[in-house]
Amino acid sequence: MEADQENIKRIVVAGASGFVGMDLLRRLSSHTQVIALTRSPQAPIHIPTHRHAGVYWLQCNLFSLKQTEAALVDSDVAYFLVHSMMPSARFTQGDYENLDLIIADNFSRAAALAGTKKLIYLGGIQPFAGYLSTHLRSRLEVENVLRCRNKNLVALRAGLILGPGGSSSLILVRLVKRLPVLVCPPWTNKLSSPIALRDAVSALVACANSTSIEPGAYDLAGPEELSYHELMIRMADELNVNRFFVKIPYLKPAISQLWVTLITGASRQLVSPLIQSLLVDMIPGRTAPLFPFSEKKLPLIAALHQAELPRVRLEIGGVSIAPIAPPDKADTVVSIQRLALPQGWSALDMARDFANWLPKSLVPIIRLELTPDGNLIRFFLWGLSRALLELEFVESRSDNQRALFFVVGGLLRKKNSNVLARQEFRVVPEQQLVLSAILDFTPALPWLFYILTQAQAHRWVMWRYARRLKRICQKN
């Protein structure tokens, strides 16, 4: 019995509570031990010591490298299904692609440290040529970061995934249900190959179980290629409603995003990437080989039928595997900026340069003091004897690709905070950029005053420092 338990795979799923992740849990759990990651403080903080099959929720903030490392310990396979994840913070500065990039780097580092045998990532189909949206560029960046330390990565690139509760399905169904007349701008004529949730998850499962799937990137293709216009016509037939479709020669994508958001009630964060991705043909098989499905794909009409269904609670053996309720947003700040990396600089070089540049750039407002060993930095406002902020360099957790500081004190940091605030400079491997990140910082100032003052001051400082780095890069 013990030997059988030792042979059970331990699979970690990041993005487990999402549209694809929940269905994946159900498909994997009968013969494997699935560690489903969640930010909820109600979840355990340690992985089980045994190897029994089933779903085990584990508390993990993917913005924390330390927690991510702990989550991937002793893992055989790890799935990265996180798309445009927003941190559980009250205030966020930074674009979603930078947020995704830092958690992907955490996951890549943690998987390499744990010796995870296989990484599996669900990204987006890359157009053959021409325009590349911010969303699709971000998906490719994440794929590259995951691969840089893990050559055993299998990346599946999908277009529209249709199924109960999916964001693409929700937008499609609500548009057709709520509008008797549908305006069709040029982007609705672009081709794609929608795939059913069942088939997408089957491909993800096969990547973990089959030895014939080699590392690399694969496109997920549905049974048909058609335009979004044709997809809406098919959806109207499935819903048994009469709809009039009016083609117009031009409509700015921003206007399309606005009316789709208003009609469907979906957030701009969901609508914008969808429309951006549909500005070009999203035909699979042009930039990566097609995934070799071993079973017949679900017909498009069946996928559309599933798309109109509400998301249902998934069960295994009569027991619900719904995720533990997510926490309310903590009273913390996350701020991430993308900066140019001068040739030959490491993360440690960046941290030193920033510490030297900041007081000089803010003279006579800010002065800086270093302890003799150089590991504690204090920032003072001229005329005040108490430090605004105190940053402690964490040598044991820093290297040439990551410089880590803990925010250990100062007037601007709230006392008695249970979360350890961090300042990082993170070099993204194989890309000439660095991420400057403030994570889990709890301000002492009242929130509105903080947002109007300290947050804006930080944004202005990082904008000036970004300009400095660009000038250095141009000189090199």
Task: Look at residue 459 and tell me whether its pLDDT is greater than 70.
Answer: yes
Contacts from 230-237 at CB under 8 Å and sequence distance 24+?
231/160, 231/172, 231/192, 231/194, 232/172, 232/175, 232/176, 232/182, 232/184, 232/188, 234/300, 234/301, 234/304, 235/172, 235/173, 235/176, 235/304, 235/307, 235/308, 236/176
Task: Look at residue 298 and tell me whether its pLDDT is greater than 90.
Answer: no
Q: Which residue has the higher pLDDT, 325 or 351?
A: 351
Segment 211-223 mean pLDDT: 92
Residues 250 and 187: beta-carbon distance below 8 Å = no
Task: Look at residue 305 and tell me whether its pLDDT is greater than 70.
Answer: yes
Tokens of residue 222, six digits: 């549905």
Segment 267-286 mean pLDDT: 80
* Whole-number pLDDT of residue 3: 42
Task: Look at residue 236 and tell me whether its pLDDT is greater than 60.
Answer: yes
Task: Look at residue 316 and tell me whether its pLDDT is greater than 60.
Answer: no
* Whole-number pLDDT of residue 470: 93
Segment 94-118 mean pLDDT: 93
Q: Could you report the per-residue pLDDT of 356-378, keeping only the tens digit for each?
A: 888 888 777 888 888 877 789 89
Q: Which residue has the higher pLDDT, 83 or 407?
A: 407
For 240-332, where are the alpha helices, taking DSSP H only?
Answer: 253-264, 268-277, 300-307
pLDDT tier at 435, thresholds 50, 70, 90: very high
Q: Could you report the per-residue pLDDT of 108-119, keeping only the tens digit for each?
A: 999 999 999 999
Q: Could you report the per-residue pLDDT of 31-82, keeping only the tens digit for each?
A: 899 999 988 877 888 888 888 888 999 989 999 999 999 999 999 999 999 9
Q: What is the mean pLDDT of the chain?
A: 86
End-to-end Cα spacing for the chain:
63
Segment 97-110 mean pLDDT: 94
Q: CATH 3.40.50.720 occupies which residues in the chain?
A: 2-320
* Whole-number pLDDT of residue 315: 59
* Whole-number pLDDT of residue 437: 95
Q: Which residue has the higher pLDDT, 459 or 179?
A: 459
Q: Residue 413: helix, strand or coil by DSSP? A: strand
Lowest mean pLDDT among 284-288, 361-365, 374-378, 392-396: 361-365
CA distance 118 to 341: 30
For 72-212, where are the alpha helices, taking DSSP H only?
Answer: 96-114, 134-148, 167-178, 197-209
Q: pTM for the full model?
A: 0.91
CA distance 264 to 271: 9
Lowest mean pLDDT among 138-142, 253-257, 286-290, 447-451: 253-257
Burial class (CB in 10 A: 0-12, 13-18, 19+), 476: exposed
Q: Which residue has the higher pLDDT, 69 or 385?
A: 69
Q: Which residue has the higher pLDDT, 252 or 77?
A: 77
Q: Which residue has the higher pLDDT, 118 or 2?
A: 118
CA distance 112 to 356: 33
Q: CATH 3.30.530.20 occupies which residues in the chain?
A: 330-475
Task: Look at residue 417 and tell me whether its pLDDT is greater than 70.
Answer: no
| Residue located via tokens 């692609």 | 97
* CATH number assigned to the domain with residue range 330-475, chosen from the 4 options 3.40.50.970, 3.40.50.1100, 3.30.590.10, 3.30.530.20: 3.30.530.20
pLDDT tier at 1, thresholds 50, 70, 90: very low
Backbone angles phi, psi at 336, to 5 degrees: -130, 130
Task: Look at residue 325 and tell me whether its pLDDT is greater than 70.
Answer: no
Lowest mean pLDDT among 259-273, 341-355, 370-384: 259-273
CB atoms within 10 A of CB 290: 13
* Whole-number pLDDT of residue 142: 94
CATH 3.40.50.720 fits domain 2-320: yes
Residues 143 and 121: beta-carbon distance below 8 Å = yes
CB atoms within 10 A of CB 182: 19
* Whole-number pLDDT of residue 336: 94
